[in-house]
Amino acid sequence: MEEATTPIEPSAAATEVGAAGTDAHAEAAAAHAPHGHHGPPTGFIRKYIFSIDHKVIGIQYLLLAIFAAFTGMFMSVLMRLNLTWPGHKWTILETIFPLGAPGGVMTPEFYLSLVTMHGTMMVFFVLTTAPQGGFGNYFLPIQVGAEDMAFPVLNMLSFWVTLVGLLVLISAIFVEGSTIVGNTDFVNNFLGGGGTGTLGPIGGWTGYPPLSALGKVAGPGQGAGATLWITSIAIFCIASLLGALNFITTLLNMRTRGMSLMRMPLTCWSWFTTAILALLAFPVLLAAGVLLLLDRHAGTSFFIPGGLVFNDVVQAHKGGSPILWQHLFWFFGHPEVYIAILPGMGATSHILSTFARKPVFGYRAMVFAMFAIGLLGFFVWGHHMFISGMDPRTSIAFSVLTLSIGVPSAIKTFNWLGTLWGAKIRFTVPMMFAIGFVSLFVAGGITGLVLGQTSLDLFIHDGYFVLAHFHLVMGVAAIFGMFAGVYFWFPKMFGRMMSERLGQLHFWPTFIGVYCIFVPMHIMGIVGMPRRYASFQEYDFLRPLDPLVLLVTIAAIVTAAAQFIFLFNFIWSIFKGKRASGNPWEATTLEWVTPTTPPPHDNFGGHLPTVYRGPYEFAVPDAPEDYVMQTTPDAGEGNVAAAGAGQGSGQGVQGSSGNGHNGQH
């Protein structure tokens, strides 16, 4: 089968196709060095640290997100512990957080700072970073048949700026009243002063003013910590903008021969839509952040109303509007929800089709639904503000638009079900997580129809019902999309399979666990349990909920523990997993035709593939296999392929080699 390889690169293709999945990136890169158009970098730092290779950057993003996810998860477990056993003395906490938990007892301010940091960490550095920055970076160029991103240096920059954002966010935890950096000249003069005895800002991830705008006087965590928090978000905005610009340009300008827009995998469509949303939404948050920083440090009054008295001191600000922040923030905030979930939708469509061995049901409708969701997402921010004193006529408009998002969402859901209908499903771990995504998306999305109605929202707002809704649909569903992506693409990224058995062991406790966490929360919300309270001891009417609170906490701990199975599986499989073939899942898209696994530095060994068909041609009648690669020419187009020198046929070889190596099913 090697005889068909391209004349220009006999050595690389011949050796690497056969030994698909030889260990290291390094090896593959070295094999291609003499042929590369822009030679792969040599030296550890250029190759793995300050790399401009989109694949390395994608993995860097992914690792950053995994770190942030585990940190955020740790914080959520602490919150559950405090909610369930308020006032309990956790001796170990005193050693970790001497200020936040003096004597091992968590203070309410500590709880609030956990809420803030958990939210910020998860929304920005996990939900926005991993699906787009991680998988999008790694697979968008490969799936459209490009050698790299359009602006590789910008790509590297966007990762490093993101990392700086994360570090600044983490520093917000330590700057407040800490013995290490607390109340130094720098903190007092430039950041607005340290607080006492807390840990990080306490304003929540939405940072509503005036609490977030007044500085130290507003609360123990609101001095330097809040300054660093808003700075971190501003930095993150810039990183996201750089990334989004790169994604869109790459997709528009670098698709390979034959890769028309309607032949792109749905993953690419989802990254494209997400990038557009990010490009238009993050500048608004950046603007809001600048205004907030000016309010905090330059004495302006954009968000701060007049006549505020804090600690018996009349504040000098006057005439600002806290509602203005809410408008700006949620104009970003609602598209942000779709920034988090759309890549999960793309990955789910991709994976469902692959393991159902059927084309995606209604490909075109899926694309349009995705764009409809993205577009409508810009006109519904008001539903976060129904209780802000909004004109009822305005809220009706927002309400109708919000409910109308149900239509494209339902189109997507029914198309997923249509894809699964009558299929001989291969229940691999990525497939289970993708099905889990559909389940969670429906379970979480359906309550969106409840919350989108003004009259119902007025009652439920700021309670556990909202908490349960957005955690299910934007948090956990998106995370399931990421897990599906990790299990699905791991063989391509690292050349090895993740353990199926450990994957199952990870899936079931996680899937059942998240339902045990978030379904009871809906009930708590309807009973009237408010968000962001450190403890409910004082409220007699909530006492009957104690067993549910305990159940949720136990479920949370079990679910959190199950994530370590994933972490172990991930790390162990990088080094010890079963070697993967070039196309272990018998999938059809371009990432599975790379000459080596993991792909070489320029993805296709110097020869971009030619695409002849759509992305999901499974179960094609009269085809030799039950799937046809995108690079396989039609019988009638054979002469075209022949004219294309080694191009098409070389890729065809790769496709069939994938069959031979299939050890998965």
Which of positions 140-169 make contact with other proteins (CB under 8 A)? 147, 150-153
Task: Tell me which residue of 375, 394, 376 sits closest to 386, measured CA to CA.
Answer: 394
Tally of CB atoms within 10 A around 369 = 21
375 binds other proteins per the rule CB under 8 A: no
Tell me whether residue 288 or residue 542 sits nearer to other proteins (CB atom).
288
645 binds other proteins per the rule CB under 8 A: yes
Amino acid letter, 223: G
Taking contact as CB under 8 A, which single stretch among the options 171-179, 202-210, 247-255, 498-506 is the one that binds other proteins?
Answer: 247-255
Question: What is the DSSP code string of 27-68?
Answer: HHHHHHTTT-SSPPP-SHIIIIIS---HHHHHHHHHHHHHHH
**One residue of 1, 8, 167, 567 binding other proteins per CB under 8 A:** 8
Question: What is the DSSP code string of 467-531?
Answer: HHHHIIIIIIHHHHHHHHHHHHHHHHHHSBPPPHHHHHHHHHHHHHHHHHHHHHHHHHHHHTPBT
397 binds other proteins per the rule CB under 8 A: no
Tell me whether residue 254 or residue 435 sits nearer to other proteins (CB atom).
254
Q: How far is the CB of 115 from other proteins (least distance, A)?
A: 26
* Binding residues with other proteins: total (CB under 8 A): 66
CA distances from 186 to 157, 165, 182, 183, 234 (A): 27, 19, 9, 8, 20
6 binds other proteins per the rule CB under 8 A: yes
664 binds other proteins per the rule CB under 8 A: no
The full 3-state SS of 619-638, as one line of letters, equals: CCCCCCCCECCCCCCCHHHH
612 binds other proteins per the rule CB under 8 A: yes
Tell me whether residue 164 or residue 324 sits nearer to other proteins (CB atom).
324
244 binds other proteins per the rule CB under 8 A: yes
**One residue of 99, 234, 291, 593 binding other proteins per CB under 8 A:** 291
Task: Tell me which residue of 426, 440, 424, 441 sits closest to 487, measured CA to CA.
Answer: 426
Residues 648, 641 contacting (CB under 8 angstroms)? yes
Tally of CB atoms within 10 A around 307 = 9
d(CA 35, CA 519): 56
Q: Is residue 4 classed as helix, strand or coil in its secondary structure?
A: helix
Q: How far is the CB of 318 from other proteins (least distance, A)?
A: 5
299 binds other proteins per the rule CB under 8 A: yes
Tally of CB atoms within 10 A around 659 = 14
Q: How far is the CB of 194 from other proteins (least distance, A)?
A: 24
Amino acid letter, 130: A
Tell me whether residue 247 or residue 433 sits nearer to other proteins (CB atom).
247
Tell me whether residue 292 or residue 429 sits nearer to other proteins (CB atom).
292
**One residue of 80, 263, 358, 412 binding other proteins per CB under 8 A:** 263
Give bridge partners of residue 314 from the DSSP assignment.
309
Taking contact as CB under 8 A, which single stretch among the options 170-178, 295-303, 426-434, 653-661 is the one that binds other proteins?
Answer: 295-303
Q: How far is the CB of 212 from other proteins (least distance, A)?
A: 16
**One residue of 252, 314, 397, 642 binding other proteins per CB under 8 A:** 252
Residues 93, 106 contacting (CB under 8 angstroms)? yes
121 binds other proteins per the rule CB under 8 A: no
Task: Tell me which residue of 534, 519, 401 sits closest to 471, measured CA to CA.
Answer: 519
CA distances from 178 to 78, 175, 229 (A): 20, 6, 16
Q: How far is the CB of 475 from other proteins (least distance, A)?
A: 26
Tell me whether residue 56 or residue 244 sits nearer to other proteins (CB atom).
244
122 binds other proteins per the rule CB under 8 A: no
Q: In 449-463, which positions are buried (b, 16+ CB within 10 angstroms) versus exposed (e)?
A: eebbbbeebeebbeb
Residues 518, 479 contacting (CB under 8 angstroms)? no
Q: How far is the CB of 57 from other proteins (least distance, A)?
A: 14
Which of positions 508-567 make contact with other proteins (CB under 8 A)? none
Tell me whether residue 257 or residue 501 sits nearer to other proteins (CB atom).
257
Tell me whether residue 320 or residue 377 sits nearer to other proteins (CB atom).
320
Taking contact as CB under 8 A, which single stretch among the options 215-223, 289-297, 369-377, 410-418 is the one that binds other proteins?
Answer: 289-297
284 binds other proteins per the rule CB under 8 A: yes
For residue 316, the number of C-alpha atoms closer than 13 Å in the C-beta half-sphere is 7
Task: Tell me which residue of 103, 84, 107, 85 sits closest to 93, measured CA to CA.
Answer: 103
76 binds other proteins per the rule CB under 8 A: no
d(CA 143, CA 593): 10
Tell me whether residue 332 or residue 355 sits nearer to other proteins (CB atom).
332
611 binds other proteins per the rule CB under 8 A: yes
**One residue of 253, 394, 455, 537 binding other proteins per CB under 8 A:** 253
Q: Print the binding letters for residues 306-345 with other proteins: x by CB under 8 A, - otherwise.
A: x-----------xxxx--x--xx--x--------------
248 binds other proteins per the rule CB under 8 A: yes
88 binds other proteins per the rule CB under 8 A: no
CA 160 to chain centroid, in Å, comes to 17
Taking contact as CB under 8 A, which single stretch among the options 11-19, 178-186, 299-307, 461-469 is the one that binds other proteins?
Answer: 299-307
Tell me whether residue 85 or residue 151 sits nearer to other proteins (CB atom).
151
Q: How far is the CB of 606 from other proteins (least distance, A)?
A: 8
**One residue of 260, 309, 621, 622 binding other proteins per CB under 8 A:** 260
206 binds other proteins per the rule CB under 8 A: no
Name 585's Cβ contacts closer than 8 Å, sequence gap at least 6.
354, 355, 428, 430, 488, 491, 592, 664
**One residue of 261, 410, 571, 623 binding other proteins per CB under 8 A:** 261
Q: How far is the CB of 264 from other proteins (least distance, A)?
A: 10
d(CA 314, CA 302): 17
d(CA 592, CA 609): 11
**One residue of 577, 633, 655, 658 binding other proteins per CB under 8 A:** 633
Give bridge partners of residue 618 from the DSSP assignment.
627
Name 91's Cβ contacts closer than 8 Å, sequence gap at least 6.
104
Give bridge partners of residue 476 from the DSSP assignment.
none
Taking contact as CB under 8 A, which single stretch among the options 92-100, 188-196, 296-304, 462-470 is the one that binds other proteins?
Answer: 296-304
**One residue of 84, 178, 499, 647 binding other proteins per CB under 8 A:** 647
Q: How far is the CB of 282 from other proteins (least distance, A)?
A: 7
Q: How far is the CB of 371 from other proteins (least distance, A)?
A: 13
What are 582's two structure tokens?
């070039």
Amino acid letter, 565: I
By CB under 8 A, name the binding residues for other proteins. 6, 8, 37-38, 147, 150-153, 241, 244-246, 248-249, 252-263, 279-284, 286-288, 290-291, 294, 298-302, 305-306, 318-321, 324, 327-328, 331, 607-608, 610-612, 633, 637, 640, 644-647
